[in-house]
Amino acid sequence: MSAVSAPPRAAAPEEAIAELRALLGDRLSTSGAVREHHGKDESYHPVVPPDAVAFALSTEEVSAIVKVCAKHKVPVIPFGTGTSLEGGVAALHGGVTIDVSGMREILRVSPEDLDVTVQAGVTRKQLNEHLRDTGLFFPIDPGADASLGGMTATRASGTNAVRYGTMRENVLGLTVVLADGRIIKTGGRARKSAAGYDLTRLFVGSEGTLGVITEVTLRLYGIPEAMSAAVCPFETVQGAVDTVIQTIQAGIPVARVEFLDDVQMDAINRHSKMNMAVRPTLFFEFHGTTAGVKEQAEMVGAIARENGGTDFDWATRPEDRNKLWAARHDAYYAALALRPGSKGWPTDVCVPISRLADAIIETKADIAASHLISPVVGHVGDGNFHLVFLVDPDKPEDMAEAQRLNDRLVERALAMGGTCTGEHGIGYGKMAFLEQEAGDALFAMAAVKKALDPDNIMNPGKVVRV
């Protein structure tokens, strides 16, 4: 299966740019450096810059920008922090990127109701810093300090998903600017509703192809009384994954469980100046009462020993836990350092947890037979794992081999009843795989896209072909 190529760019939309400059002044940029920055995410995909970048500060301003673009049929590409991984911010048809990073206001916090409403440019770290004195936190933590609007648009996940779910479970309501500039609100603060179509879930994961998310209402959680993290190396991949499966099946409410293979552990040791065993390894975190955390840890420790795990290396002090999870979140950059000067081709799949060991073992066999280096990490509590192929984009043999390995990875996951992406999204890098996975359901997706965006101006060339 070949990569999706970018379509020809449209001519520069001079009339729309002139109107937007009158509207925004110096917050409308056509600078080459600014456009280049907004035409690329953190993946291997090439830079495809927009014709202009509009820096919005409010929902009303986003609406005004979109109305101008709609009038001239100019593409609109939403942009938060640019940390996506499948080319989601590339301006494949030119157009105007709307940068919402200046929309950083936390609009409302309701501690009694455990919810919060934020503008789309607020980042997860900014929100949790704001919540620090309330006794509450927001648990979804993709590796980057992504914007909450972008996390919603890509249906982001992270290391806490095994206990707290993904953005799908934690977004209560949205404010969205549609393709004609209209502003709608979806969902609400009630914990359940039977009123009409679930439009909130429609926009969660839509990757900017149906509208621009400008405000998000989120579920919050109480900070646990006790937290403990632990590292446990294993003799085999099978033993590590079997430990995860048996932990989940036993109903132990582990908060985090991450798998890192031997290659990734070596990279982390070098990058983060740590000294952990270079073996297949699980990172755990337990949340709850002091007694509850102790009980969870003892139960998981017994399961791990039965599967060839060694004793847990504990991190109970906040600074030690933070160092451990910072090392996990920096895994991508640690991997890049294994081949200096390389670029990362990140990818992910998700399979039923019963097939996880098979999927990882077969994938590692493919990598072992290849000339490419590719560490494996995973949010294995929900069957999701990631690879990053270290490539030189100027070497066709590297790119062809990464494509071959990625094709095999995804086809294996689909054959096991899984999905082509558990977390990274489709963008334009995995459109062909979505077509294979969704089958006739793709017709329904395209119908929704055409109904809400008849002129195909919202992030065109992504997710579904129109």
Question: What burial letters (b/e) apply to 85-120, b meaning 16+ CB within 10 Å?
Answer: bbbbbbbbbbbbbbbbbebbeeeebeeeeebbbbbb
- In this predicted structure, what is the pLDDT of residue 265? 97
Query: Coil, strand or helix: which one is 76?
Result: strand
Where would I find the H helices in 11-155? Answer: 14-24, 32-37, 59-71, 124-131, 148-153
Between strands 226-233 and 171-177, the pairing is: unpaired
- Which candidate, 338, 332, 360, places its Cα nearest to that of 259? 360
CA distance 69 to 63: 10
- In this predicted structure, what is the pLDDT of residue 385? 94
The lowest-confidence range among 4-8, 66-70, 112-116 is 4-8
CA distance 232 to 304: 8
Tens of pLDDT, residue by residue over 391-431, are 999 999 999 999 999 999 999 999 999 999 999 999 999 99
Between 44 and 17, the more confident residue is 17
Six-digit token string for 434: 């979505």
**Angle in degrees, CA 122, 199, 16, rounded to 5:** 65
Q: Tell me if 217 sits within 8 A of 263, measured CB to CB.
A: no
Residue 9's pLDDT band (boundaries 50, 70, 90)? low
Between strands 221-222 and 183-187, the pairing is: unpaired
* Helix %, strand %, coil % of the chain (to 5): 40, 20, 40
Per-residue pLDDT at 3 exceeds 60: no
CA distances from 206 to 25, 152, 185, 311 (A): 30, 9, 16, 43
Per-residue pLDDT at 5 exceeds 90: no
Structural domains in the chain? 106-222 (3.30.465.10), 226-332 (3.30.70.2190), 339-421 (3.30.70.2740)
- In this predicted structure, what is the pLDDT of residue 1? 40
Q: Tell me if 237 sits within 8 A of 261, measured CB to CB.
A: yes
Six-digit token string for 184: 């709608």
| Averaged pLDDT, 281-310 | 94
CA distance 10 to 93: 5
CA distance 431 to 208: 15
Tens of pLDDT, residue by residue over 341-368, are 999 999 999 999 999 999 999 999 999 9
What percent of the chain stands above pLDDT 90?
A: 85
List all residues 6 or more positions away from 51 whose beta carbon is below 8 Å from its beta carbon.
Answer: 12, 13, 17, 30, 35, 74, 91, 94, 95, 96
| Averaged pLDDT, 239-255 | 93
What percent of the chain stands above pLDDT 70?
A: 97
Question: What burial letters (b/e) apply to 232-263, b meaning 16+ CB within 10 Å?
Answer: bbbeebbbbbbbbbbbbeeebebbbbbbbbbb
